[in-house]
């Protein structure tokens, strides 16, 4: 069952979120299964030495990546979505084909960057997804800027970005949120409090471990939700987006969750992460919880869920094959694209 | 054609682009109601409203980051740094986000960051910096350094129209000291293309290659040396990125002697790159070593006698040019 969002700001209590239909819930299930299957497959490829560089997963955070993207409008004329490194699901939901994710990890020509950047540094004008950078919190001011553009043109679009607890320590978090509040732009900030920034626990990151309280300090209405409950994230996000579209300024959603793996695949997290905490959060696995809710509260037939899982399995298999067959960009492309010739040649 | 100062030309360029393109807007500290610390955006808010002339919090990284996002979302922002020095706070946004976005995903970032640059105004170490070399090393940013009112106007209009991030280094010392008749107007104002150096004075014995505040000094030196029967060619680079190699190399191949002058400090300054290009591509034409005149490799001191010691002055350029002519 979805946990209601707790509103702790000075703004009026929001109307109760509309009930999520079974079809919507199943759609969220599909995306979450696809997200996990894609990540598990990519991790295997990494371990087989088939992915250059490193590999980062968002295991345990799929409810956030899917739930925050699902209420958004897709396409070049849709909503701006700038997810961070744990949000593979956001890219899928917002329109990036699965095979291009694998092509990206492999550095192939079919990647959204044509092999010029790796991992989840994915983006493209056609999806209105800017390409994230490694520097934490940099995408926050950019997202405020996109929201400003929509406000200037009187469009009812929103700009959304996500980040982890570590990013809240950087200056661009402060500058971005402050400007968003002052300019009253339609931006939604999604903080994923997964308790870890690489090896640093949140207790060493900040004294204010409830991140939504930071947003309140900037005058931005903020809530916290159970980040392992996709229905809760989806509801909170739908409400925040509606608030923005109505011209009522920025919103902030803190999703409480837990990082169920290392910072990256090479990270020996067992050496610093308390195993009992990991076990505790393992029981709150977002995918297991959604399956349970679908079966027990919505009495959805197991065969239906199995059907979705089979579809996803095939989809991922085909995606890996297609990415495998894809070639690398010609080395001469390394020279190209430093400057644009026209406004949009994406 | 109205006579206007370099500063008025900058304001006119923004005004004229805002008249014909509603995507263009200005943002920065005190740019709105006040019209900026120097008045470069004066009355733009009154004319175009608060959504197109935006007073922002004191947050240079935020300002540039917001401008990058707005540019990607289809606007054409002009972000003002109150002083060029403060762009150090926005360095990350410029090189991490603005400069690399198009290379990675082919998504253009049509952005201008205006940087009131340079010394000679008693600004001290934090209000006098020349910042062009900070960005020159990094691929993906255009760098513009106008020396005249007409160029300030025409280059700024081109920079606003350019689909790339442009660091626009306007020199504060020139703001009110340089005046010129400038062809302005939303539809028929002059445009000066990025990447085309200006041969501001032709000569045959020696080339002075320079930009921004030192162009006037180089011209004065050329006048003096003319009376000594030395014919000096003066090249105003106008833009450092793109760099007009051909105009520079043509001049050096003609004169055989090169003096590179800039107000920025010597080490790691743009002059080093110019010298390297000449050494590689015009070596056989050289009749003398390539010389550079630039500021001291120190922070910029405040007190007028100290600041004069720091800056490259007309007499420094004259002395180096005489030596070179006699070589």
Look at domain B3-181 and name its CATH class: alpha beta
Residues of B in contact with A178 (CB under 8 A): 57, 59, 62
Q: Does A334 touch chain B (CB under 8 A)?
A: no
Residue A320 domain-assigned? Answer: yes
Whether residue B236 contacts residue B201, with contact meaning beta carbons closer than 8 Å, is answered with: no
The number of residues making up chain A comes to 346
Q: Does A178 touch chain B (CB under 8 A)?
A: yes
Q: Kindly tell me if the per-residue pLDDT of A8 is higher than 70.
A: no
Q: Kindly tell me if the per-residue pLDDT of B321 is higher than 70.
A: yes
Q: Is A70 helix (H, G, I), strand (E, B) or coil?
A: coil
For residue A239, which of A25, A1, A27, A6 has the smallest C-alpha distance?
Answer: A6
Residue A344 domain-assigned? Answer: no
Q: Measured between CA atoms, how close is A210 to chain B, in angstroms?
A: 24
Angstrom distances, CA of residue B286 to CA of B198, B206, B258, B290? 22, 10, 8, 8
Look at domain B198-326 and name its CATH class: alpha beta
Chain A's closest residue to B53, CA to CA, is: A152
Place of tokens 């744990």: A86
Domain range list for chain B: 3-181, 198-326
The predicted-structure confidence for A65-84, as pLDDT tens digits, reads as follows 999 999 999 999 999 999 99
The predicted-structure confidence for A79-123, as pLDDT tens digits, reads as follows 999 999 999 999 999 999 999 999 999 999 999 999 999 999 999
Place of tokens 């253009």: B108
Q: Is A255 helix (H, G, I), strand (E, B) or coil?
A: strand
Q: Given CA atoms B267, B272, B275, B276 in this order, what sign does their dihedral have?
A: positive
Write out the residue range of the structural domain in which residue A312 sits. 29-326
Q: Which of B15, B127, B136, B262 is an active site residue?
A: B127
User: How many separate domains does chain A show?
Assistant: 1
Inspect the interface and report whether the beta carbons of B67 and A124 lie closer than 8 Å: no
Q: Kindly tell me if the per-residue pLDDT of A12 is higher than 60.
A: no
Residue A337 domain-assigned? Answer: no
Residue A50 domain-assigned? Answer: yes
Inspect the interface and report whether the beta carbons of A342 and B65 lie closer than 8 Å: no
| Nearest-angstrom CA–CA distance, A333 and A220 | 44
Q: Is-catalytic flag, A259?
A: yes
Inspect the interface and report whether the beta carbons of B101 and A342 lie closer than 8 Å: no
Task: CATH number of the domain at A122, please.
Answer: 3.40.50.970
| Stretch A20-45: mean pLDDT | 97
Name which of B62, B77, B107 is nearest A346 (Cβ-Cβ).
B107
Alpha helices in chain A (DSSP H): 22-47, 62-69, 88-93, 98-106, 139-152, 171-183, 211-217, 230-245, 275-282, 286-292, 302-325
In DSSP notation, A124-156 reads: BGGGTB----SSTTTHHHHHHHHHHHHHHTT--
Q: Kindly tell me if the per-residue pLDDT of B252 is higher than 60.
A: yes
Q: Does A153 touch chain B (CB under 8 A)?
A: yes
Angstrom distances, CA of residue B151 to CA of A280, A293, B83? 66, 67, 20
Residues of B in contact with A127 (CB under 8 A): none
| Nearest-angstrom CA–CA distance, B11 and B290 | 38
Average pLDDT of every residue of chain A: 94
Kind of pairing, strands B111-117 and B76-80? parallel
Residue A202 domain-assigned? Answer: yes
| Nearest-angstrom CA–CA distance, A53 and B201 | 54
Task: Write down the pLDDT at residue A346.
Answer: 42
| Stretch B56-80: mean pLDDT | 98
In DSSP notation, B162-213 reads: SSSEEEEEEEGGGTTT-EEE----TTT-----TT--EEEE--SSEEEEE-TT
- Mutation pick from B106, B109, B164, B194 vs chain A, by most beta carbons of A within 10 Å, is B106
Per-residue pLDDT band at A13 (split at 50, 70, 90):
low
Q: Does A133 touch chain B (CB under 8 A)?
A: yes
CA dihedral A265, A266, A271, A275 (to 10 degrees): 10
Q: Which of A86, A114, A263, A289 is an active site residue?
A: A263
Inspect the interface and report whether the beta carbons of B57 and A135 lie closer than 8 Å: no
Inspect the interface and report whether the beta carbons of A340 and B102 lie closer than 8 Å: yes
| Nearest-angstrom CA–CA distance, B206 and B327 | 11
Q: Kindly tell me if the per-residue pLDDT of B314 is higher than 80.
A: yes
Q: Kindly tell me if the per-residue pLDDT of B5 is higher than 80.
A: yes
Provide the 8-state DSSP code for A344: B
Residue A190 domain-assigned? Answer: yes
Q: Is-catalytic flag, A269?
A: no
Whether residue B12 contacts residue B6, with contact meaning beta carbons closer than 8 Å, is answered with: no
Residue A2 domain-assigned? Answer: no
């Amino acid at each position: 069952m979805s946990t209601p969002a707790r509103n702790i700001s000075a703004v009026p209590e929001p109307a109760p979120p509309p009930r999520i239909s079974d079809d919507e819930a199943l759609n969220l299930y599909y995306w979450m299964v696809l997200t996990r299957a894609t990540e598990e497959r990519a991790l295997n490829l990494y371990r087989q030495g088939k992915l250059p560089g490193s590999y980062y997963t968002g295991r345990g955070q799929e409810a956030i990546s899917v739930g925050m993207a699902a209420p958004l409008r897709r396409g070049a004329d849709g909503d701006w979505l700038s997810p961070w490194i744990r949000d593979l699901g956001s890219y899928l939901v917002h329109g990036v084909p699965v095979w291009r994710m694998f092509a990206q990890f492999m550095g192939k020509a079919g990647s959204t960057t044509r092999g010029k950047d790796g991992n989840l540094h994915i983006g493209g004008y056609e999806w209105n997804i800017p390409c994230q950078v490694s520097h934490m919190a940099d995408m926050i001011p950019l997202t405020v800027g996109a929201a400003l553009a929509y406000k200037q043109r009187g469009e009812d679009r929103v700009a959304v970005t996500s980040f982890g607890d570590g990013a809240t320590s950087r200056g661009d978090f402060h500058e971005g949120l402050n400007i968003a509040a002052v300019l009253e732009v339609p931006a939604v900030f999604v903080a994923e409090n997964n308790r870890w920034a690489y090896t640093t626990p949140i207790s060493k990151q900040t004294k204010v471990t409830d991140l939504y309280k930071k947003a309140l300090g900037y005058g931005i209405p903020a809530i916290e939700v159970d980040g392992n409950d996709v229905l809760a994230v989806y509801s909170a996000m739908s409400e925040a987006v509606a608030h923005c579209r109505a011209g009522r300024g920025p919103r902030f959603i803190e999703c409480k969750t837990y990082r169920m793996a290392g910072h990256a695949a090479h990270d020996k997290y067992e050496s610093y992460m308390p195993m009992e905490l990991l076990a505790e959060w393992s029981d709150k696995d977002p995918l297991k919880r959604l399956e349970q809710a679908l079966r027990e509260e919505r009495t959805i037939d197991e065969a239906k869920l199995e059907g979705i899982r089979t579809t996803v399995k095939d989809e991922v298999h085909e995606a890996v094959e297609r990415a495998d067959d894809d070639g690398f960009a010609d080395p001469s492309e390394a020279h190209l694209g430093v400057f644009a010739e026209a406004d949009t040649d994406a | 054609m109205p006579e206007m100062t370099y500063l008025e030309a900058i304001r006119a360029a923004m005004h004229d682009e805002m008249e014909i393109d509603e995507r263009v807007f200005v943002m920065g500290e005190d740019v709105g109601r006040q019209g900026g610390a120097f008045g470069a955006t004066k009355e733009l808010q009154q004319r175009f409203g608060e959504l197109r002339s935006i007073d922002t919090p004191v947050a240079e990284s935020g300002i540039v980051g917001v401008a990058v996002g707005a540019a990607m979302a289809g606007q054409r922002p002009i972000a003002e740094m109150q002083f060029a020095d403060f762009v150090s706070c926005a360095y990350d946004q410029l090189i991490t986000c603005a400069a690399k976005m198009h290379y990675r995903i082919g998504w253009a970032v049509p952005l201008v960051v205006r940087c009131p640059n340079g010394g000679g105004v008693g600004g001290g170490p934090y209000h006098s910096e020349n910042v062009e070399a900070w960005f020159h090393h990094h691929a993906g940013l255009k760098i513009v350094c106008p020396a005249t009112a007409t160029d300030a106007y025409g280059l700024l209009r081109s920079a606003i129209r350019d689909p790339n991030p442009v660091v626009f280094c306007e020199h504060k010392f020139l703001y009110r000291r340089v005046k010129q008749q400038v062809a302005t107007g939303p539809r028929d104002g002059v445009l000066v293309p990025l990447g085309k150096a200006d041969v501001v004075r032709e000569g045959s014995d020696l080339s002075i290659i320079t930009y921004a505040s030192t162009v006037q000094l180089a011209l004065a030196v050329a006048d003096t040396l003319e009376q000594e029967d030395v014919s000096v060619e003066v090249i105003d680079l106008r833009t450092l990125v793109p760099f007009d190699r051909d105009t520079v190399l043509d001049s050096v191949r003609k004169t055989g002697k090169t003096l590179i002058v800039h107000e920025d400090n010597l080490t790691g300054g743009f002059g080093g790159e110019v010298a390297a290009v000449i050494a590689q591509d015009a070596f056989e034409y050289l009749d003398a070593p390539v010389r550079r005149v630039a500021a001291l490799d120190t922070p910029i001191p405040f007190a007028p006698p100290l600041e004069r010691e720091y800056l490259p002055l007309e007499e420094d350029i004259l002395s180096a040019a005489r030596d070179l002519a006699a070589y």
